[in-house]
């Protein structure tokens, strides 16, 4: 890949803003609509925000870590940026689409690169019926919540909830409960990437639940459908010696 026009963006932190000024002074600056690539300076949270903001431009994104968490980022250095971009390897990500219905009857549509998570809004446990491909798999899950994670997001919230780490090209999704109480022995499932998952909130007036697609939250939901949207493809660039696929493998052996 050959990149000439770069759109630099930086997180609102001192290290990221300092790096942003240095890169713009050295390489120039282009708007995303006119650029060949977006270079994001910050951490994983800022990279997710940047990917969401620039989905319409369909540009590859290359991250440099100046934040605290950088699983989706490359090691920061201010040298040889254009050469690193030319040698970088692309990883394709397909986000999850969340279709949520509120108690009011209104609908919300959002995309998630990492995960879609359902969380109880009150002191009482959520009661959720779980459907997979039109079949009820769990009649009543009593829990703090439940999430669906992509392979790229499987090392984030999903891993913290004791879900499995998924290889990037595995074409599967992780379905992981959050603090489940009943059924006592159910600890989640690994589903085919083309699966359609639906959550029905039981007793939603007494036990309200919110749904979040990455950072987009919908409160007081009654139903949520989640599926992988293959019509949307995101490209992340990584240094060849430290690919995203290799990082995910390494996470499975981290102690």
Query: What CA–CA distance (Å, rounded) separates 31 from 80?
Result: 22
Known catalytic residue: 44?
A: yes
Give the separation between CA 223 and CA 230, rounded to whole angstroms. Answer: 22
3-state secondary structure 148-200: EECCCCCCCHHHHCCCCCCCCCCCEEEEEEECCCECCCCCCEEEECCCEEEEE
Write the Ramachandran bin of 171: left for phi over 0, alpha for psi from -120 to 50, otherwise beta: left
- Among residues 83, 32, 80, the alpha carbon closest in space to that of 60 is found at 32
Burial of 125 by CB count in 10 Å (0-12 exposed, 13-18 middle, 19+ buried)?
A: middle
| Look-up of token digits 């800022």 | 46
The per-type count for the chain, helices as H runs and strands as E runs, is: 5, 17
Q: Name beta bridge partners: 132.
A: 135, 197
10 Å Cβ neighbour count for 161? 22
Rounded CA Rg of the chain: 19
Would you say 99 and 109 are in contact if contact means Cβ atoms under 8 Å apart?
yes
Q: Which of 44, 109, 144, 229 is catalytic?
A: 44
Q: Which residues are catalytic?
A: 44
């Amino acid at each position: 890949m050959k990149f000439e026009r770069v759109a630099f963006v930086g997180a609102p932190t001192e290290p990221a803003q300092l790096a942003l000024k240095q890169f713009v002074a050295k390489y120039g600056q282009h708007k995303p609509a006119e650029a060949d690539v977006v270079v994001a300076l910050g951490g994983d949270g800022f990279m997710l925000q940047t990917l969401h903001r620039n989905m319409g431009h369909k540009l590859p994104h290359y991250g440099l870590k100046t934040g605290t968490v950088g699983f989706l980022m490359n090691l920061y250095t201010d040298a040889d940026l254009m050469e690193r971009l030319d040698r970088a390897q692309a990883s394709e990500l397909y986000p999850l689409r969340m279709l949520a219905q509120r108690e009011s009857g209104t609908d919300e549509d959002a995309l998630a690169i990492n995960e879609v998570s359902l969380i109880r809004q009150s002191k009482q446990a959520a009661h959720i019926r779980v459907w997979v491909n039109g079949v009820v798999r769990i009649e009543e899950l009593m829990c703090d919540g439940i999430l669906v994670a992509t392979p790229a997001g499987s090392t984030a919230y999903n891993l913290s909830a004791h879900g499995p780490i998924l290889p990037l090209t595995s074409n599967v999704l992780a379905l992981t409960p959050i603090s489940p109480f009943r059924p006592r022995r159910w600890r989640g499932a690994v589903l085919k990437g083309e699966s359609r998952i639906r959550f029905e909130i039981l007793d939603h007036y007494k036990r309200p639940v919110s749904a979040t697609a990455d950072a987009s939250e919908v409160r007081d939901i009654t139903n949520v459908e989640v599926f992988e949207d293959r019509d949307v493809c995101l490209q992340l660039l990584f240094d060849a010696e430290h690919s995203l696929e290799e990082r995910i493998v390494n996470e499975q052996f981290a102690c």
